[in-house]
Amino acid sequence: MTNVKTVPTTPIHGQRPGTSGLRKKTAEFMRPPYLNNFTQAIFNAVGGLTGKTLVLGGDGRFFNDKAAQIILKMAAANRLAKLIVGQNSLLSTPAASNLIRQRKADGGIILSASHNPGGPDEDFGMKYNMSNGGPATENVTECIFQETTSINAFQIFDMPDVDLSKVGKQQVGEMEVEVIDSVVDYQALMKTLFDFEAIRDLLADGFTITIDAMHAVTGPYAKAILEIDLGAPKGSVLNAVPLPDFGGGHPDPNPVWAKDLMTIMFAGDAPDFGAAMDGDGDRNMILGRGTYVTPSDSLAVLAANAHLAPGYKRGLAGVARSMPTSRAADRVAEKLGIDAFETPTGWKFFGNLLDAGKATLCGEESAGTGSDHVREKDGLWAILLWLNILAVRKKSVAQIMAGHWAEFGRNYYSRHDYEGVDEIRAKEMILTLSRRLRDLPGTEIEGLIIEDADNFSYSDPVDQSVSPNQGIRILFEDGSRIVLRLSGTGTVGATLRVYLERYENNAELLNQDPQLALAPVIRAAEQIAHIQNYTGRTAPDVKT
């Protein structure tokens, strides 16, 4: 192909993907040849593109459209046979996963930094998903990184930008580009899983909802499904237009960053149900009138009630949760007589379980839930499953939560985030604590006796791979837990996450404020890890 240019380049330091791909400041991604190098590294790591099909799309954040054009031209130069692109280069992460699976593509590239802020001074991200629709495995991720350290050239097609605003097919060199309606395939999948008629009846009977799309990619999906198809009143979906800077907001669906929705849901005239989704549509926050449902509790409730939706009437093969997620879902699995799996953080670890049929529902405490319908977490899916359950059970969110805790007990739970802390000091804290773990069992702190302490190591039950050092666990005899780990989703400094859990089954103590119920565990975490000393913070930046 005469239009193909081979451009010499040199490796760029620091292009190691984390748990959800590579995330950096937008300005860094925009500085040539940063994006070109990483893109070519992906193409090289997967054995080249000749004859293959890929899916491409992103969450619409700043630089999404320009990055899509560069990747498209590089794919053509690398002899990709077909590229399936979301209209205007937009695709939610779960929709991209579904397209990869439905179209039997060889993989996909998703442009997103998920729940991180967007804009010229904020964050950008890029990740590769495998042919099963799930994030790249650790082996592939490592191959990509190694390619970034030795790259000496990239290939790109020399041509004007392609019009991605119109649905249809066009040719770029030897590569077919198919621009698809971003919503249609995903909407069709949802109809196979849920009782849309029951949800329509619920909404027609006056049940009110408010969904905050946070000016992110799910706005068009939510409007098409909830307002147009299911009949929710116009305006039920707020902030529905995707914007490059997410309207100046932080597209993370939690009580801190979705404060406006929290105010609506805790007002005297609150709707019956509320929810929010993040930048790329894979996370969710669930609310009832005056009720906040933690992600861990949401996973447990969905596991206990999934059989009420047509797509899950067969029952669940198993439930999987990330290690930091509360053990509430484990109690449901025990009663259902199904397996409960504990994996490291990162949706890629669920992929093997889902592909092997060992698990049906999966969840992470960081507002991610999903099932075997795709290989990513899925915010709108979680909202629809909740609505299906509410339509069948005809109870409020608060009533469902109260009934769940009465039956299973309550796992009081909270995550404390210390953001942008000094990376050297944060790693020093983890290392120092790691060296003390073997001496902690038997120690009593704040009236709690430590039963065990370790740095979590995961042995995959499908392929027997081992993933060590996935987070420090402090386990107490009464079932309480402290988990400490450094997050891989930030772009500046280090983010220390401290997860706190305490189980309660006394009926008179099931409605406490979580921070008060967890107070002894919070004090114990400080005494064990000396968090203030290492972070220089007297309090976390975010509590969820």
Beta bridge partners of 123: 25
Is residue 294 within 8 A of residue 413, CB to CB? The reply is: yes
Q: Is 298 one of the annotated active-site residues of the chain?
A: no
CA distance 42 to 67: 15
Question: Which of 89, 97, 114, 236 does the annotation list as catalytic?
Answer: 114
Residue 354 corresponds to which tokens in the numbers above?
């889902």
pTM of the model: 0.94
> What is the pLDDT tens value at each position of the chain, 544 positions in all?
579 999 999 999 999 998 789 999 999 999 999 999 999 999 999 999 999 999 999 999 999 999 999 999 999 999 999 999 999 999 999 999 999 999 999 999 999 999 999 999 999 999 999 999 999 988 999 999 999 999 999 999 999 999 999 999 999 999 999 999 999 999 999 999 999 999 999 999 999 999 999 999 999 999 999 999 999 999 999 999 999 999 999 999 999 899 999 999 999 999 999 999 999 999 999 999 999 999 999 999 999 999 999 999 999 999 999 999 999 999 999 999 999 999 998 888 999 999 999 999 999 998 999 999 999 999 999 999 999 999 999 999 999 999 999 999 999 999 999 999 999 999 999 999 999 999 999 999 999 999 999 999 999 999 998 999 999 999 999 999 999 999 855 556 789 999 999 999 999 999 999 999 999 999 999 999 999 999 999 999 888 8
All domains in the chain, ordered by first residue: 4-182 (3.40.120.10), 186-408 (3.40.120.10), 410-543 (3.30.310.50)
Residue 292 corresponds to which tokens in the numbers above?
């906040």
Residue 357 corresponds to which tokens in the numbers above?
């049929």
DSSP 53-95: EEEEEE---TTHHHHHHHHHHHHHHTTBSEEEEEEEEE--HHH
CA distance 462 to 466: 11
